[in-house]
Amino acid sequence: MNTLRLASRGTSVDFGSFGLKALEYGRIRSNQIEASRKVLRRSSGKFSKVWIRIFPDRPYTQKAAEVGMGKGKGDPKGYEVEVYPGRVLFEVDGVDEKTAREALRKAGTKMPVKTKVVSRN
């Protein structure tokens, strides 16, 4: 695990006015992205636009409970994405600053990494 590496792609807010940026390395699973998307959608309102800037395209495996060592690799369990510090995870537009910051803060609580709300420069 390379924790000193910084993200080189997807580090700026390109689509919306506000974004949620990762501050540390982590692996984010598809169900965590979906939970964040739901809370972001609910909190930001009907007329907002939300962009998801990460995609879980890497499968991860897990062996069944109480199975001994050996006998090959476990079955595919789901999908995840590797995130480095500086990567923008979500973007929001079409709402005022207070609403956007609160919605992104709530979405950040669903993530396994520390996050911060950033605005377009």
The residue extents of the domains of the chain are 18-60+75-119
% residues pLDDT > 70 (the chain): 98
CA distance 84 to 88: 10
Check residue 40 and give its pLDDT: 95
Mean pLDDT for 24-28 is 96
| Contact status, residue 25 vs residue 83, Cβ threshold 8 Å | yes
Topology (CATH level 3) of domain 18-60+75-119: Aldehyde Oxidoreductase; domain 3 (3.90.1170)
| DSSP structure string for the chain | --SS----SS-S--SSSEEEEE-S-EEEEHHHHHHHHHHHHHHH-TT-EEEE-----EEEEEPPTT--S-SSPPEEEEEEEEE-TT-EEEEEESS-HHHHHHHHHHHHTTSSS-EEEEE--
pLDDT of residue 121 exceeding 80, the answer is no
